[in-house]
Amino acid sequence: MGLFADLAAAPVYVPSEVLKTRLQLQGRHNNPFFNSGYNYRSTLDAARTIARTEGFGALFYGYKATLWRDLPFSALQFAFYEEERDLAKQYMGSKDIGLPLEILTAASAGGLAGVITTPLDVVKTRIQTQQPHTSSTPASAPKASLSPASTSKHSTSANSSKSSPHSNRPISTSGPSTTLKAHGAATLDTSSVIRGIRLIYQTEGIWGCFRGVGPRGVWTSVQSGTMLVLYQTLLKYFEQMSNEGSAV
């Protein structure tokens, strides 16, 4: 159920994800400290500018990678939540498990789902913010290369000769100067989520796939806890109103 709900909402929130990513990379308008390649006055200005200069479809860059992250998350979140609430009801011996257990079950369900889907979040973020390259490298050359920090033993000219021709990747939301230099992480010159996860695992190990797992676990716990507790509160309120209306 959660999977289908997220799928239905994707056409709305994927453009918001593109706008959020670009505005976060940009910082403030006319930012004197960092040239991100973007310079929007506001969210509305960003949407208008993207649609005018890059086409309406550009607002859906990262659609596939975002769905790869969010659909499993929603499915796991609601599955964990329903299972934990059933256990809480058995423990309390009542359908009303009380606010503390409502918060605990909701937050833990979201946090656990967030931790499990962290590799999908890592590869989605890497794909959307990777630096485009231009090169005359033959088509048979590998599509993945390491960042300057991890290949410092090679010369600058050698690095430039190995860059990928994928300058127009369909899901990139970054400009030429949005990638932090010398970050030591693998550059994913691919739009494939599976290939991206494999490359991160090969170059950084299992923990590379779980970078940021702590903040993501906290964020998804707070997000799910707030949403699901409010959902149950409103559901009880409307049920009470319905029962009072039927009694009259």
Confidence of residue 80 (pLDDT cuts 50, 70, 90): very high
157 inside domain: yes
Please answer whether residues 54 and 18 qualify as being in contact, where contact means their C-beta atoms are separated by less than 8 angstroms.
Answer: no
Against a cut of 0.85, is the pTM above it?
no
Q: Which residues of 110-147 are buried (b: 16+ CB within 10 A; e: fewer)?
A: bbbbbbbbbbbbbbbbbbbbbbbbeeebeeeeebbbbb
32 inside domain: no
Range in 20-29, 31-40, 129-138 with the lowest mean pLDDT: 129-138
* pLDDT tens, residue by residue, 208-239: 999 999 999 999 999 999 999 999 999 888 88
38 inside domain: no
Residue 186 reports pLDDT greater than 80: no
Q: Give the C-alpha separation, 66 to 61, whole Å.
A: 9
Residue type, 219: W
234 inside domain: no
Q: 10 Å Cβ neighbour count for 227?
A: 13
37 inside domain: no
202 inside domain: yes
Burial of 194 by CB count in 10 Å (0-12 exposed, 13-18 middle, 19+ buried)? exposed
**C-alpha separations of 32 from 18, 26, 198 in Å:** 23, 10, 37
227 inside domain: no
134 inside domain: yes
Mean pLDDT within 164-185: 42
> Taking all residues of the chain, what is their mean pLDDT, rounded to a whole number?
78
Domain that includes residue 162, residue range = 127-209
| Number of compact structural domains in the chain | 1
Question: Which is more confidently placed, 111 or 190?
Answer: 111
